[in-house]
Chain A
Amino acid sequence: MITQMHVKGLMFDPYNNAYIVVLRDEEHADMLPIWVGKSEAGAISMSLENVTPPRPMTHDFMKSFLDAYNAKVISVVITDLSEHTFFAKVHLMYEDSEYTVDARPSDAIALALRSNAPVFANNSVLTKQSSEELEQWLENLKPEDFGKLDS
């Protein structure tokens, strides 16, 4: 079972000097925080804010690469969480065949946002995350961070 998630925004995590991509499902029942590096966060934030850079950034190039042969990103799925590392898959459609490619969630999400493709999470990840990561996440949150979650 998979659940469609929406990219709600990005937060800075000063304790780990990293960024958190916050995914939420439609009913706001589940939240999935994913830690990503600075440049990966930049790639996601440019899409969220509809910024068109003067030169193609890495994920713009990635999309051009697929566009060159009319390959389409049909969806990305956050598939697994293992030892604090999230795993994702990019599903491509090319010449009537579907391809599944292993990726980091940050690349998958940055590409999905540029391709208008939906982002899903395996329900097992949502369940796992609540026990494995949420505790750490809550510990790191400061009261002023909460306001940024709902845009």
Chain B
Amino acid sequence: MSIADLPKEQDLVEYKVDRILEEANTDTRIVVLARQDSALDTFPIWVGAAEGNAIKLALDTMITPRPMSHDLVKSFAEHLNITIQRVVIADVKSSTYYAMVHVSNKGLERTIDARPSDAISLALRAPCPIYITQDVLKRRSTTNLDAWLAKLDSKNIGTPEVQET
């Protein structure tokens, strides 16, 4: 059943959503994932404000009066008897993380390409476990640093603090 290039089970490390941070003066949020086995390791992912809010609603188990977008996906799954098995952060390219949502229906397994924010938002609602592959964990440290530096570059270094008249 398993496809050759899908990550194998022993290559997956389970994480949980620890908290959502607001980045000052930007329209982004940082989703902080923490290792489920309580090893001291956190894994930050930058997402948009709307995506961050969608995750926060689920994390705080807020019941909204109307179904939000990811509630609707969950509702589709329930109506069609699709089981949301797990989500996996499976790749990173140019500081962008790629996630896969693993679903099954009557023994038929499928993986769906997603942004980590959508995958995590859905995982919290399903609920289902969130994994990061060993490969992504190995390659992330420099990626994070790059992302930080890129942000510093555009916000702090690039703009002159004092303008002479």
A residues at B contact (CB < 8 Å):
37-39, 55-59, 61-62, 64-66, 68-69, 71, 85, 87, 90, 92, 94, 99, 101-104, 107
CB of B151 within 8 A of chain A?
A: no
CB<8 Å pairs between A and B, sample of 20: A37-B50, A38-B50, A61-B112, A62-B72, A64-B113, A65-B82, A68-B110, A69-B108, A71-B76, A71-B80, A85-B65, A85-B66, A92-B76, A94-B80, A101-B72, A103-B67, A103-B72, A104-B67, A104-B72, A107-B69
A65 adjacent to B79 (CB under 8 Å): no
Q: Which residues of B contact A59 (CB under 8 A)?
A: 69
CB of B115 within 8 A of chain A?
A: yes
Q: Which residues of A contact B73 (CB under 8 A)?
A: 61-62, 65
CB of B89 within 8 A of chain A?
A: no
Q: Which residues of B contact A68 (CB under 8 A)?
A: 82, 103, 110, 112
CB of B59 within 8 A of chain A?
A: no
A37–B110 CA distance with the chains assembled, in angstroms: 32
A102–B78 CA distance with the chains assembled, in angstroms: 12
Question: Which chain B residue shows the least CB distance to A111?
Answer: B72
Interface majority SS (helix, strand, loop, mixed), chain B: mixed
Which of B50, B54, B66, B103 counts the most chain A CB atoms within 10 A? Answer: B66
Minimum CB–CB distance from B6 to chain A (whole Å) comes to 15
Minimum CB–CB distance from A68 to chain B (whole Å) comes to 4
A64–B48 CA distance with the chains assembled, in angstroms: 21
Which of B69, B96, B112, B118 counts the most chain A CB atoms within 10 A? Answer: B69
Residue-wise, chain B 46-60 has the 8 Å CB interface mask toward A (1 for contact) of 001011001000000
CB of B105 within 8 A of chain A?
A: yes
CB of B101 within 8 A of chain A?
A: yes
A17–B100 CA distance with the chains assembled, in angstroms: 34
Q: Which residues of B contact A38 (CB under 8 A)?
A: 50
Q: Which residues of A contact B72 (CB under 8 A)?
A: 62, 90, 101, 103-104, 107
